[in-house]
Amino acid sequence: MSEAEIRELVVIGGGPGGYPAAFYAADLGMDVTLIDTEAKPGGVCLYRGCIPSKTLLHAAAVLQEAKAAEAFGLAFGEAKMDVDRLRAWKQAVVDKLTGGLGQLAQARKIRTVQGRARFEDAATVVVAKASGGEERIRFKAAILATGSEPVRLPGAPDSPRVMDSTGALALEDIPARLLVVGGGYIGLELGQAYAAFGSRVSVVEMLPQLMSGADPELAAPLLARLGGQFEAIRVKTRVLGMEATDTQVTVRLADEAGNECSETYDRVLVSVGRRPNTRGLGLEQTRVQLDDRGFVVTDAQRRTGEPSIFAVGDIAGQPMLAHKATHEGKVAVEAIAGRKAAFAPQAIPAVVFTYPEMAWTGLSEREAREKGFEITVARFPWGASGRAATLGGGDGLTKLIAEKTTGRVLGLGITGPGAGELIAEGTLAIEMGAVAEDLALAIHAHPTLSETVMEAAEGISGHPTHLFRRS
Ligand code: FAD
């Protein structure tokens, strides 16, 4: 092992928590070493998550748009899919973005080390290098950003036919029948992509509804659409066991009354959650603590119980989202640089990139009531939006939650095409302490879907032009 050099900052994990932290620290003049199992930064998000999934979902959305266009006289005939080219295109997108990050790291003079790191003590990491051998690095501060991995279903066979999200994104083929186990956003996004590519998709969920964490009103248009796209949606249903052959998987299911049945699929996608990557890191050599769900315990600066070690991203708690990881990474760097910084967002947006999209930010109606706020809720159905009509859809919804006495915006939820882009206005409004009237009085371009946010705000503070309520 080579002699240990003392580095100012070591970042372990090059995902959306780790690489922006490394980049920012280098911009602030720190001497930074970034360690990741891959040669280039990107993490799960770029290699096995956000980016490859959205690439496939874009292809799926094009297919669905093309089908929907028949309603206004455009017929393209039967779509032909070249799975090899689709896979290659997805890979090209991943390569372009991770390659770009590699160049940005180099330009910032960040030392990148490919390998797996573990703590030897509170000031030393040992890296088992991908090229062979070990390297010991001493540090003044470390940021731990090792992310998360898919939870395995107990008893699921070790078979390529039983996939996690990484396996599904590999797009080996388009199975004739696919079972998605788990009705959260990852399962629904990937299930919908495979359905658009031609698979007959079923989904099984233990809880009483799909997307159980989301506002049911916002989820309704998506669930209605999925009802037509998926072969079967089974809620309150458990997977009892699975048996795989070379070509198929037989799954035993039980409903809430205990009625059992067996179904056979060509592939199964298990998406029942993710767990923080804290194993094998040598945390026991430090004072880093885990909570009862396995997340690293941190303070508002993302400092762990070991003052020299910070933790950000999926290992530091919910929501496990890329943009939350990035924000935390920057807070940790500011704290290391001695600046006053704290992770204290008023709103963290969440987007489900299904067709239609769903997005929310700030408090949901239920959360606002649970927190004891007296609230006004305004809904603007997209059936009343001119832009939605020109796009051929009217089943979207914009829902604004405001504090009753002050009109302060507390939350925004949107379902419909482009919801993921539109939600930023709500996050900004909440962070700026805006009242609904601010959104209502800001001129929104016509005809755009952003007008639905303005009209929802008018529903709280005034009179929405395109809705009529008898007083
Ligand atoms: P990660 O991105 O998980 O990166 C951690 C990195 O650390 C990895 O490269 C890992 O190999 C490396 N590592 C682990 N252990 C070690 C070690 N001991 N030594 C060195 N390196 C190590 N989020 C969104 O916001 N929007 C989305 O649309 C979205 N879509 C998703 C779709 C899918 C299919 C999946 C699986 C996830 C999606 N996510 C999405 C979640 C998002 O990917 C994560 O929240 C995000 O990647 C977390 O970032 P991170 O920096 O904490 O860790």
Active site residues: 446
**Beta-bridge mates of residue 250:** 243, 264
Give 416's contacts (C-beta < 8 A, 6+ positions apart).
221, 356, 357, 382, 388, 393, 395, 396, 397, 398, 449, 452
**In the chain, what are the domain boundaries?**
2-150+275-336, 162-272, 350-461
**Beta-bridge mates of residue 252:** 241, 262
Atom of ligand 1 nearest to the CA of 41: 9
Q: Is the beta carbon of 116 within 6 A of some atom in ligand 1?
A: yes
Going from the C-alpha of 271 to that of each of 118, 151, 168, 204, 395, the distances in angstroms are 28, 8, 10, 10, 27
Decide if pLDDT at 393 tops 80.
no
Q: Is the beta carbon of 407 within 6 A of some atom in ligand 1?
A: no
From 11, 48, 50, 57, the mutation candidate for ligand 1 (largest count of ligand atoms within 8 A of CB) is: 50
pLDDT at 54: 97
Instruction: Return the H-helix or E-strand segment holding 232.
Output: strand 232-234
Decide if pLDDT at 140 tops 90.
yes
Backbone angles phi, psi at 236, to 5 degrees: 50, 40
Across the range 156-175, mean pLDDT stands at 96
Percentage of residues in the chain having pLDDT higher than 70: 99
> The pTM is what?
0.96
pLDDT at 316: 98
Residue type at 100 in one-letter notation: G
Q: Is the beta carbon of 18 within 6 A of some atom in ligand 1?
A: yes
Ligand 1 mean position, distance from CA 12 (Å): 12
pLDDT band for position 192 (50/70/90)? very high
Q: Is the beta carbon of 98 within 6 A of some atom in ligand 1?
A: no
Across the range 243-267, mean pLDDT stands at 96
pLDDT band for position 197 (50/70/90)? very high
Q: Is the beta carbon of 44 within 6 A of some atom in ligand 1?
A: yes
Instruction: Return the H-helix or E-strand segment holding 389.
Output: helix 386-390
From 146, 169, 285, the mutation candidate for ligand 1 (largest count of ligand atoms within 8 A of CB) is: 146
Q: With H, G, I as helix, E, B as strand and everything else as coil, classify residue 248.
A: coil
pLDDT at 4: 67
Average pLDDT value for the chain:
96
Indicate the burial class of 162 (C-beta count within 10 angstroms; 0-12, 13-18, 19 or more): buried
Q: With H, G, I as helix, E, B as strand and everything else as coil, classify residue 219.
A: helix
Atom of ligand 1 nearest to the CA of 115: 20
pLDDT at 240: 95
- Distance (Å, rounded) from C-alpha 416 to C-alpha 450? 11
DSSP 444: P
**Tokens for 333?**
């760097």
pLDDT at 1: 53
The DSSP string of 70-113 is: GGGT----S----HHHHHHHHHHHHHHHHHHHHHHHHHTTPEEE
Backbone angles phi, psi at 365, to 5 degrees: -60, -45
Superfamily of domain 350-461: FAD/NAD-linked reductase, C-terminal dimerisation domain (3.30.390.30)
Decide if pLDDT at 7 tops 70.
yes
pLDDT at 82: 96
pLDDT band for position 461 (50/70/90)? confident
Q: What is the pLDDT of residues 44-65, one digit of tens each?
A: 999 999 999 999 999 999 999 9
Q: Nearest CA to 329 among 109, 23, 1?
A: 23
Q: What is the pLDDT of residues 326-370, one digit of tens each?
A: 999 999 999 999 999 999 999 999 999 998 999 999 999 999 999
Atom of ligand 1 nearest to the CA of 322: 25
pLDDT at 250: 97
- Distance (Å, rounded) from C-alpha 363 to C-alpha 215? 10
Q: What is the CATH number of domain 162-272?
A: 3.50.50.60
Across the range 89-107, mean pLDDT stands at 98
Q: CB count, 10 Å around CB of 181?
A: 24
The single residue listed with the structure tokens 């999926």 is: 314
Ligand 1 mean position, distance from CA 267 (Å): 24
Ligand 1 mean position, distance from CA 17 (Å): 8
Tell me if 465 sits within 8 A of 458, measured CB to CB. yes
- Measured on CA atoms in the order 27, 326, 421, 202, is the torsion positive or negative? positive
pLDDT at 208: 94
pLDDT at 74: 95
- Distance (Å, rounded) from C-alpha 191 to C-alpha 185? 10
Q: CB count, 10 Å around CB of 391?
A: 18
Tell me if 295 sits within 8 A of 146, measured CB to CB. no
**Tokens for 172?**
């080996």
Q: Is the beta carbon of 186 within 6 A of some atom in ligand 1?
A: yes
Q: What is the pLDDT of residues 169-180, one digit of tens each?
A: 999 999 999 999
Measured at the CA of 418, the angle between CA 413 and CA 422, to 5 degrees, comes to 50
pLDDT at 3: 57
**Beta-bridge mates of residue 269:** 163, 180
Give the fold, CATH level 3, of 2-150+275-336.
Answer: FAD/NAD(P)-binding domain (3.50.50)
**Tokens for 108?**
């910032």
From 10, 12, 44, 90, the mutation candidate for ligand 1 (largest count of ligand atoms within 8 A of CB) is: 44
Decide if pLDDT at 462 tops 80.
no
Q: What is the pLDDT of residues 15-52, one digit of tens each?
A: 999 999 999 999 999 999 999 999 999 999 999 999 99
**Tokens for 190?**
């990937």
Q: What is the pLDDT of residues 398-431, one digit of tens each?
A: 999 999 999 999 999 999 999 999 999 999 999 9
Q: Is the beta carbon of 414 within 6 A of some atom in ligand 1?
A: no
pLDDT at 2: 54
The answer to whether 2-150+275-336 and 162-272 have equal CATH topology is yes
Residue type at 29 in one-letter notation: G
Rg (alpha carbons) of the chain, rounded to whole number: 24
